[in-house]
Amino acid sequence: MTCQQQHRYDPEFELLPHDQSQFNGRHKCAGCAYDKGYSLGLLKAPSVNIDFESLPNSQAGTVRHRSVQAAFAKGYLDGVLASY
């Protein structure tokens, strides 16, 4: 499946590091990774992980070749901060 969400063009994702490692979510949507992290952050989940296979692919916009780990971690942090 390929991500069709508008977050693919969010300029905030341009701040994430580039990553094309085949072992770290290559071609997966960093926007969707952010959203998953954010949801877990809102819950202040004590244990988190990223399931690369559950993320849709994306080669479009500002999420192209961006680190899904960094996106997930930023989403988690933003979610925790928003929970207060």
Confidence of residue 74 (pLDDT cuts 50, 70, 90): very high
Note whether residue 3 is domain-resident: no
Note whether residue 40 is domain-resident: yes
Q: What is the pLDDT of residue 7?
A: 87
Q: What is the average per-residue pLDDT within 65-80?
A: 94
Residue 13 structure tokens: 């994702």
pTM of the model: 0.90
Could you tell me which residues are beta bridge partners of residue 18? 66
Containing structural domain, residue 73: 11-50+58-82
Note whether residue 6 is domain-resident: no
Given a cut of 80, whether residue 73 has pLDDT beyond it is yes
Note whether residue 33 is domain-resident: yes
Note whether residue 1 is domain-resident: no
Note whether residue 36 is domain-resident: yes
Q: Determine the Cα–Cα distance for residues 78 and 65; give it in Å rounded to an integer.
A: 21
11-60 confidence digits (pLDDT tens): 998 999 988 776 677 788 999 999 999 999 999 999 998 888 899 888 88
Q: What is the pLDDT of residue 82?
A: 98
- Give the count of domains, the chain: 1
Residues 6+ apart with CB under 8 A from 12: 62
Note whether residue 28 is domain-resident: yes
